[in-house]
Amino acid sequence: ERRRCRYLCTARGCCHMVQVLLAALLLVCSSVSGGPAGGYTGLPALGGIYYYHYGGAYSGFSGAEGERAQQLDQHFYLLKLPIAKAAMAAGGCFLVFSCILILIGVLRVSWRFPAWLLIECTLDIAIAVGTVPALYYFLHSLMGVYNSSVCKEREQLYQSKGYRGFWCSLHGAEVAAGLLGCMATVAYLSSAVLAVRGYRTVHQQKQKPGQL
């Protein structure tokens, strides 16, 4: 058991654990991006959620303006939802794949079946290369939503009441998701290199069992 757990201290094991961490963070940031749009809640009985949130500094919506704010919030949320779901699906796949790699390493499958390391290298390169256009699609689609008339009208409506935080630009979680995607690309490329090195090491050790 100690020999199996020793894999986690190797360069490949550490790289795979970094991949798990990045995938988990990407999943969280994507879920934040696809979360409720916020904005007007339509609960005048509570005095207005944002009225209390900002210390009573701003007046709330009423009548037709309140209904319009709700419609814009819902439409804006629906525009961002497919993008966020795609990012969450990608983060979930990365997380599952990285966990499988750790399990394979702990079970020493690469020692019994060295060709797996070449397969792993191929998969790592494919994921790293595929992440680049995926990141472009993610950021380009988000900018398309933020440049839409719905977002512009929503921003102006909230600004007319003095509310802040509804700007039509990428927020922190979305920027973080983009950076995490770039870091994941580097991590998978590093994993591919380590897989090739591992294949060479296992191949040499199997040829010289007396040095094990």
Count of the separate structural domains present in the chain: 1
d(CA 56, CA 53): 7
C-alpha dihedral sign at 27, 33, 34, 39: positive
Question: What are 142-155's pLDDT values in tens digits?
Answer: 999 999 999 999 88
What one-character DSSP code corresponds to residue 46?
G
Please check whether residue 212 lies inside any domain of the structure. no
The full DSSP string for 104-130 is HHHTTHHHH-THHHHHHHHHHHHHHHH
Q: What percent of the chain has pLDDT over 90?
A: 44
Per-range mean pLDDT, top range of 1-15, 35-49, 73-87, 158-172 = 73-87
* pLDDT range class, residue 134, cuts 50, 70, 90: very high
Q: Say if 56 falls within a structural domain.
A: yes
The residue assigned the tokens 């100690």 is 2
86 within some domain: yes
Check if the beta carbon of residue 60 is closer than 8 Å to that of residue 51. Answer: yes
Per residue in 3-36, pLDDT tens? 667 878 888 889 999 999 999 999 999 888 776 5
In this structure, is residue 20 part of a structural domain?
yes
pLDDT at 35: 66
Cβ 58 vs Cβ 162: under 8 Å: yes
* pTM of the complete model: 0.80
Range of the domain at 142: 3-207
Which of 27-31, 95-99, 123-127, 164-168 is predicted with the least confidence, judged by mean pLDDT? Answer: 164-168
CB 150 within 8 A of CB 79: yes
Rounded to an integer, what distance in angstroms lies between the CA atom of residue 194 and that of residue 60? 57
Confidence of residue 119 (pLDDT cuts 50, 70, 90): very high
Structure tokens at 60: 């709330």
pLDDT > 60? residue 170? yes
Is residue 101 within 8 Å of 16, Cβ to Cβ? Answer: yes
For residue 190, being part of any structural domain is answered with yes
Q: Which residue has the tokens 């988990």?
A: 24
